[in-house]
A and B are shown apart, each in its own frame.
Chain A
């Protein structure tokens, strides 16, 4: 069974390439018993979603007639 370190590598790579059957099975076995890695798996999707929305929600560019909330 893969370690956590190895499992995080597989979870990360799964976002760029399809895992092999063997890799998928190994990862599934690990995730069944490791809550930390299950969280990691969900959280890297949160990172992805945040990155997609990032610059679009960056508050730095404002329309000229906006009120400045900071000052």
Chain B
């Protein structure tokens, strides 16, 4: 595996058009997932890049340029979510959940116990998986496979690290609804990772 040249100044990277194009594409994909709004995503990515250029001196000495860049993007997304509060339409949460009950019935029997074939199995050492590029491809595919609102809600909680109270405001939903959505997202994501990763790799 090739090591990124960490000694190079971040300013050089930010002035390399090919690198910026690649980075921007990656950031946009991520911002769109989080914000569900292409225009807002563009704005947020632009702001993050401008902010990075302005603060490029602060980067010196930090481990990874990408980590730093995404930390900036994360802050911009959280800001955008907070400001957008008033535009949220609460009505659309219901549809997605309706078809989901059937899926839950495949995991649990009539008395609410795990069906034999769905009983969670032992997973190998997660740290070792985290070091494997293939794991991250599977993880990304599993996230993409969640119903869109579930995926967004899950990442808002676990990646952006918003707390439940703030998420309810941002999403315009009740605490109960938030709990239901996160429970389902976790059940689904767990099954997907077990089927496509942890079930095979020990």
User: Which A residues fall within an 8 A CB radius of B?
Assistant: 3-6, 8-9, 12-13, 15-17, 36-37, 39-40, 42-44, 46-67, 69
Q: Is the CB of A66 within 8 A of B4?
A: yes
Q: Which B-chain residue is minimally distant from A70 (CB atoms)? A: B133
Contact with A along B168-190 (1 / 0, CB 8 A): 00000001001100110011011
Say if the beta carbon of B59 comes within 8 Å of chain A.
no
List of A residues within 8 angstroms of B113 by Cβ: 3-5
Question: Inter-chain contact count A-B, CB under 8 Å?
Answer: 125
- The majority secondary structure among interface residues of chain A is helix
Interface residue range, chain B: 35 or more
Q: Which B-chain residue is minimally distant from A7 (CB atoms)? A: B112
- What's the least CB distance linking B12 to chain A, in Å? 9
Q: Return the contact of A8 from the options B123, B164, B187 (Cβ within 8 A).
A: B187
Q: Is the CB of A58 within 8 A of B112?
A: no
Q: Which A-chain residue is minimally distant from B107 (CB atoms)? A: A5
- What's the least CB distance linking A38 to chain B, in Å? 9
Q: Is the CB of B108 within 8 A of A69?
A: no
List of B residues within 8 angstroms of A36 by Cβ: 114, 119-120
